[in-house]
């Protein structure tokens, strides 16, 4: 019987630049459709003004990064102590590997090996001062990916699979997860099986996986087909546990994403995330109240900019199936830096 570890972390792109910068907020402020009253701090909530301060959020951003990195280091220690045969990473693809020619709801990357150059097109220096041609060579686990795919198909979940990439060696959701877990650059030897979830759904192609203008229409002509529902992700996470528990391997299940995203939260003019909605789910998670998660419809997820949390729905569904509550759980809030972050550990 396979042993299973559960981890929840983030792949927030704002973590890796040399200096944190509220890029999404600044881009939102430049949107011609932004109400004039919201273009200046006097029109913002008090907490957003406090973090923005007189340095455009610089001090708040560095403090936020320190908190996030501290939690990532804890997750790495737990992962190393568990010694997995491979780690399944649930993350989303934002118009990177999957584009107009294919957008699967779910896809398992059963790669043998992965080579990625995350700084090849970076426009700002990265935290580690790594060169543009820095190459990360990561072990895959084709046998594990094939086993999981076959098992899920047998369970009635029509997941896609691949043995090589389409357009990108590895999307940033997966690559950042690995780089952050190796924040101190000690090396990362754990084999990985990337498991893509189409979290962005309606904005996957139309918005190229990132920001849209407040003026862009939310019409059938503009938006793409929706993402899979939270309930389906919940069920699929549970099915992964059933399949992997019957395997010969020790497997880490890692959900990687931040929670609500400012640039997806139109009701907040794309300036700050939906903190009350995130807090409600965090409080439920911390005590193992999974019914609160299960009952949240996709429309509510989209309204709160929580689309990327579908990766966490996979994890929560898996942990409910195992009868586990988090051993550790931490919520890192921000009003300025696009998204709240959550970290969770579910030990065997």
From first to last of its 348 residues, the chain has per-residue pLDDT tens of: 689 999 999 999 999 999 999 999 999 999 999 999 999 999 999 999 999 999 999 999 999 999 999 999 999 999 999 999 999 999 999 999 999 999 999 999 999 999 999 999 999 999 999 999 999 999 999 999 999 999 999 999 999 999 999 998 999 999 999 999 999 999 999 999 999 999 999 999 998 878 899 999 888 888 999 999 999 999 999 999 999 999 999 999 999 999 999 999 999 999 999 999 999 999 999 999 999 999 999 999 999 999 999 999 999 999 999 999 999 999 999 999 999 999 999 999
113 Rama class: left (phi>0) / alpha (psi -120 to 50) / beta: beta
CA distance 259 to 315: 14
CA distance 99 to 104: 10
Instruction: State residue 319's pLDDT score.
Output: 98
Pairing of strands 136-139, 192-197: unpaired
DSSP 267-327: GGTTSS--HHHHHHHHHHHHTT-HHHHHT--HHHHHHTT-GGGHHHHHHHHHHHHTT---S
What are the residue ranges spanned by the domains of the chain?
4-346
Query: Most distant CA pair in the chain: distance in Å?
Result: 60
Instruction: State residue 219's pLDDT score.
Output: 85
Q: What is the CATH number of domain 4-346?
A: 3.40.830.10
User: Within 13 Å and on the Cβ side, how many CA atoms surround 223?
Assistant: 14
């019914």: which residue's tokens? 291
């Amino acid at each position: 019987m396979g042993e299973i570890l559960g981890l929840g972390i983030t792949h927030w792109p704002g973590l890796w630049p040399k200096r944190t910068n509220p890029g999404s907020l600044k881009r939102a402020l430049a949107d011609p459709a932004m109400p004039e009253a919201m273009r200046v701090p006097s029109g913002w909530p008090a907490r957003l003004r406090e973090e923005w301060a007189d340095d455009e959020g610089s001090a708040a951003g560095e403090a936020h990064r320190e908190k996030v990195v501290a939690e990532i280091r804890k997750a790495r220690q737990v992962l190393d102590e568990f010694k997995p045969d491979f780690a399944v990473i649930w993350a989303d693809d934002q118009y990177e590997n999957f584009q107009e020619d294919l957008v699967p709801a779910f896809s398992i990357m059963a790669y043998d090996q992965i080579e990625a150059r995350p700084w090849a097109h970076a426009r700002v220096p990265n935290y580690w001062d790594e060169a543009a041609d820095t190459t990360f060579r990561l072990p895959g686990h084709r046998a594990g990916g094939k086993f999981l795919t076959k098992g899920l198909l047998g369970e009635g979940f029509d997941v896609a699979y691949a043995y090589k990439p389409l357009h990108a060696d590895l999307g940033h959701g997966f690559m950042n997860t690995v780089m952050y877990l190796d924040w101190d650059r000690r090396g990362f030897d754990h084999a990985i099986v990337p498991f893509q979830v189409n979290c962005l759904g309606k904005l996957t192609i139309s918005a190229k996986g990132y920001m849209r203008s407040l003026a862009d229409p939310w019409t059938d002509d503009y938006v793409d087909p929706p993402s899979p529902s939270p309930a389906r992700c919940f069920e699929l996470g549970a099915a992964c546990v059933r399949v992997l528990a019957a395997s010969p391997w020790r497997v880490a299940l890692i959900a990687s994403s931040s929670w609500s995203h400012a640039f997806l939260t139109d009701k907040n003019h794309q300036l700050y995330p939906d903190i009350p909605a995130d807090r409600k789910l965090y409080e439920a998670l911390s005590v193992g109240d999974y019914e609160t998660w299960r009952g949240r419809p996709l429309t509510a997820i989209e309204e709160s900019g929580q689309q990327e949390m579908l990766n966490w729905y996979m994890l929560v569904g898996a942990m409910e199936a195992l009868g586990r509550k988090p051993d550790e759980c931490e919520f890192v809030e921000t009003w300025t830096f696009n998204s709240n972050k959550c970290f969770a550990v579910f030990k065997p």
